[in-house]
Each structure stands twice: as C-alpha cells, then as structure tokens.
C-alpha cells in the first residue's frame, strides 16, 4: 500500500497534522496508524465498584487511541512559550504562539465555542506573587473541560474520517528508511510513504527510543519532575482561579535554591489515579459542567530533577520513587499537611475529622517515607509561600497526595523543521521530547504539515 504521508499516533500532534494536510492539500493520500482504539471504543474498565484498580489492558484507553493521552484530560490549552514545551527553540517564539492560537481557533470551530479563555495579562496577581517571592508565569489558558474536549475530538474525527485512512488498534512495529522512501511496518503489513510524521506521545516513548536506535538518530534524556498533588477547599484559591483558571507559579526555595512550581490546577475538580506501566501515581481533572464540580481545588507542586553523568535513567528514578509509595500504600498515599509537618502519618480517623473531604480514595500514610528530603522540604516551603497569597493553603487539613510524577520523553535530535537526519522523517509532539502539552503538541503537528506541503510544492 502506498501513501504520500503516513502519520504514526492519533494524539493531538497527529490529529492536527492530518487536519492541516487534508485542509490544504485534499488530494494527498494520508494514513494515520494508531495503537489504541477509535474514540467511541476508548473506555477504562476501572469503575470504582467491580474494577477498582488497573487490570493492565493491552491498550490503555486513558493514554492511547484517537485523541491520545489528552482525550479524557481537563482540556487546558495553555497558549504560552513559558511552559508546556520548548517548541519555540526550534521554530521561533512568534510562530509557536501563532500556531497555538490557530489550534485554538480550530478547537472553537469544532465544538469549543463558548468556553472561556483566561489570561494573566494585566493581572494584579503578578505583583502580589512577586512580593512573596513567587513568580506568576505568563499564559492564556483555554479551558475546554473534560466534557467539551471530548466533543471537539468527536467533531474533528468526523471531519477527518472520510479524508484520511485511519488504522486503529494498529501499533506500528518499525519504520524502515531506504532511498528516500519510508516503510511503516505493522504486523504482517507494509505501507510505503514519502514522508512520515511520528507523533507517539508519552506512551510510545520506549518504542520511539528503539526507532531512534535502529535509524541511528541521536537522543538525550535527563529530567523527571516529582512532587505531590495538593487538595484544598476551592474558596482558598478562588480569587486566583476565578480570574486566571490555572495559575502557573514558581517558587525558588531558600534552603536549596530549587524551583518548585504549581502544575495542572483543577478548580472544583477531582483527584484521580494515573497508571503508568503498572505504577499508580496521582493526577487531577475538572469538568466544565457545573453538575460534576466539587467543593475542592487541586493542583500539583513539582520539583524538576535533572541528572548528570553517569546517570541516564531519569524516568527510572521517578518510577522507583512512585513504586515506593505503591509499596507502602498499595497505591497513592494521602496525608494532611498538619500531619506531615508534625512528622506523623495520617490515619483514616484524622482524615475523616479534617475539614477537607478527599475526592480520591487513597491510603492515609506518611509522604516523608517516600519523597526525597530535598524535594519534600521544597514543597513544604512553597506551601508556606502560597499561604501568603492564598491564606489557608498551609492549613493542617490541606491534603497532599503522592506521588505525582511527570515523566519526560528523551529528546530526539531534530532540526528547525522538526525533521530528523533522514529527510522526510519528522518527529513531533511529546514523543519528540520537545513538547509536554496539548497546545504545543498540536502546534507542532500544524507546523510539520505546512513544512511538508511547502517542500512538496
């Protein structure tokens, strides 16, 4: 089978490549290969009743399938170069922002219209933060919410399904490169194409490593982010979340001069489990639909850990810390802030007596037995700093869930076109190690589609 262009992975990166290619050059023959299911078949069996924990499905519906890892996410599209990836280092700051705005316009056209765009521009909180040694990062945030995010994906699929050949439940095993032609190998089938866009995200990281090794493409990896998810009454942060929705705040610790940052803020949201390769970590969601909202707000506090020679396995380090929490708690551990600073574990009774009702059933325990001291000290310092701009953050009953881990893909060696040394082979999205967010991954997809079209013209 011959295609002009093959796309591997139907996450935001792959979807926006396909969208842009079919919009601008409808006569091109484009295929999308996706290891996971089509959108309507994506269903995680954990229902909290019959199935309480991960049963290790062959294809994880949370991470894989049409929509990628972001399909059931909170759908926060952060339009900024300040976080979410380093796409701007390759394509320039202005172009990166323009493409993120373009992605936003498409999301609005396909069902997102009416959702709110928040912005830090002109916010009074910048000054308040800096007065307390905190830095508020610049961003506009489109919050689609889990429900509308799904609708947008459905509409994009309906737009694409007759213009692109989709191959679901089709993990690509290998890419072969010979004489300027790429062969995509899946099971017994071989598909040839002139250009190949690889957008396999976090779940495809190991596979990506193998492809890079086989095709002699250099990679590097040295970072993992570790921390906790904080849950507190929504009113404590409402002055910030009402105006900004998500505030990305950075604090530089006095003790170690480490940066601790807030991540993935979910006003009126819920704390959820996340299963990565059998290791249970914590994350958060929130819904646009008011009927599904809670009285709590949650966000992560993370510390980035960079390793130097001779250690290369930063993700392995993060996994080991997460495994420790799973060993002690059978999954995620929850602890009251008051118990943590008093050096004692939380118990079911202390949590029940507290003023914050947990939205995730986690095991009460002691996070100081899990997280490295340096990281935990930084998190405690930041909670006290946040207490100055959002009084109540450092209350005894504030809940901390651990651990939250952000794994990073290794960075693939790419040029300013996001192209490998094999001309015509592009790597985009989180699988490239360059992006870590919906907006950056989507923007990289549009960028590469346009680059390919310009070269084919």
Ligand X SMILES: Cc1cc2nc3c(=O)[nH]c(=O)nc-3n(C[C@H](O)[C@H](O)[C@H](O)COP(=O)(O)OP(=O)(O)OC[C@H]3O[C@@H](n4cnc5c(N)ncnc54)[C@H](O)[C@@H]3O)c2cc1C
Residues lying near ligand X in the complex (CB under 6 A) are found at: 8-14, 33-36, 64-65, 68-70, 73-76, 78, 84, 171-172, 199-204, 207, 274, 283, 429-431, 436-439, 441
CA nearest to 199, candidates 452, 451, 453, 433 = 433
Q: Are 419 and 217 in contact (CB under 8 A)?
A: no
CA nearest to 275, candidates 319, 313, 305 = 319
Q: Sort strands 363-364 and 333-336 into parallel, antiparallel or unpaired.
A: parallel
Query: Least distance from C-beta 441 to ligand X, angstroms?
Result: 3
Which residue number, 207 or 337, has a Cβ lying nearer to ligand X?
Answer: 207
Query: Least distance from C-beta 299 to ligand X, angstroms?
Result: 12
Query: Least distance from C-beta 418 to ligand X, angstroms?
Result: 12
For residue 160, what are the CA distances in angstroms to 167, 220, 243, 295? 13, 34, 36, 39
Residue 362, SS3 per DSSP:
coil
Phi, psi dihedrals of residue 305, rounded to the nearest 5°? -115, 115
Query: Least distance from C-beta 429 to ligand X, angstroms?
Result: 2
Which residue number, 34 or 339, has a Cβ lying nearer to ligand X?
Answer: 34
Query: Least distance from C-beta 397 to ligand X, angstroms?
Result: 26
Query: Least distance from C-beta 310 to ligand X, angstroms?
Result: 29
CA nearest to 77, candidates 17, 14, 141 = 141
Query: Least distance from C-beta 68 to ligand X, angstroms?
Result: 2
Which residue number, 340 or 452, has a Cβ lying nearer to ligand X?
Answer: 452
Which residue number, 253 or 296, has a Cβ lying nearer to ligand X?
Answer: 296
Helix (H) or strand (E) holding 314: helix 314-329
Q: Are 442 and 79 in contact (CB under 8 A)?
A: no
Which residue number, 64 or 368, has a Cβ lying nearer to ligand X?
Answer: 64
Query: Least distance from C-beta 22 to ligand X, angstroms?
Result: 17
Which residue number, 265 or 400, has a Cβ lying nearer to ligand X?
Answer: 265
Which residue number, 122 or 188, has a Cβ lying nearer to ligand X?
Answer: 188
Query: Least distance from C-beta 322 to ligand X, angstroms?
Result: 14
Which residue number, 60 or 370, has a Cβ lying nearer to ligand X?
Answer: 60
Which residue number, 294 or 368, has a Cβ lying nearer to ligand X?
Answer: 294
Phi, psi dihedrals of residue 119, rounded to the nearest 5°? -150, 145
Phi, psi dihedrals of residue 334, rounded to the nearest 5°? -120, 140
Helix-helix angle 438-456:12-24, to 10 degrees: 30
Distance CA 439, CA 15 (A): 12
Residues in contact with 210: Cβ distance below 8 Å, sequence separation at least 6, in sequence order: none
CA nearest to 225, candidates 259, 252, 256 = 259
CA atoms within 13 A on the CB side of 278: 5
């Amino acid at each position: 089978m011959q295609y002009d262009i093959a796309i591997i992975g139907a996450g935001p990166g792959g979807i926006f490549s396909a969208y842009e290619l079919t919009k601008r050059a409808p006569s091109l023959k484009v295929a999308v290969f996706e290891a996971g299911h089509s959108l309507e078949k994506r269903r995680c069996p954990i229902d909290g009743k019959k199935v309480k924990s991960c049963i290790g499905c062959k294809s994880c519906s949370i991470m894989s399938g049409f929509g990628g890892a972001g399909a059931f996410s909170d759908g926060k599209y952060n339009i900024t170069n300040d976080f979410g990836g380093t796409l701007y280092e390759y394509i320039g700051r202005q172009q990166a922002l323009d493409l993120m705005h373009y992605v936003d316009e498409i999301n609005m056209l396909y069902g997102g219209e009416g959702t709110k765009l928040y912005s830090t521009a002109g916010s009074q909180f910048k000054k308040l933060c800096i007065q307390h040694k905190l830095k508020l990062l610049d961003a506009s945030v489109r919050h689609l919410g889990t429900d509308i995010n799904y609708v947008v994906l459905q509409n994009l699929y309906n737009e694409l399904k007759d213009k692109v050949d989709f191959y679901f439940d089709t993990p690509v095993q290998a890419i072969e490169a010979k004489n300027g032609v790429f062969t995509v190998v899946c099971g017994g089938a071989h598909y040839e194409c002139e250009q190949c866009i690889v957008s396999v995200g976090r779940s495809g990281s190991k596979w990506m490593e193998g492809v890079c090794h086989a095709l002699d493409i250099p990679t590097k990896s040295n970072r993992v982010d570790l921390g906790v998810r904080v849950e507190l009454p929504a009113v404590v942060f409402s002055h910030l979340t009402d105006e900004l929705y998500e505030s990305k705040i950075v604090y530089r610790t006095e003790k170690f001069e480490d940066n601790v940052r807030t991540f993935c803020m979910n006003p009126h949201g819920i704390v959820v489990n996340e299963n990565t390769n059998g290791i249970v970590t914590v994350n958060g969601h929130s819904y646009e639909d008011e009927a599904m909202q809670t009285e709590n707000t949650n966000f992560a506090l993370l510390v980035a850990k960079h390793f130097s020679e001779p250690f290369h396995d930063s993700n392995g380090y993060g996994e080991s810390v997460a495994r420790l929490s799973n060993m002690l708690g059978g999954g995620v551990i929850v602890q009251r802030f008051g118990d943590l600073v008093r050096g004692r574990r939380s118990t079911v009774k202390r949590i029940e007596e507290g003023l914050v009702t947990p939205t995730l059933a986690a095991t009460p325990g002691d996070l100081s037995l899990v997280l490295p001291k340096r990281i935990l000290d930084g998190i405690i310092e930041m909670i006290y700093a946040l207490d100055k701009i959002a009084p109540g953050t450092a209350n005894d009953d504030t809940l901390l869930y651990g651990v939250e881990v952000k794994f990073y893909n290794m960075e693939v060696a790419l040029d300013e076109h996001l192209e490998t040394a094999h001309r015509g082979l592009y790597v985009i999205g989180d699988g490239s190690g360059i992006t870590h967010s919906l907006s950056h991954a989507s923007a990289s997809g549009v960028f590469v589609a346009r680059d390919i079209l310009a070269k084919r013209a």
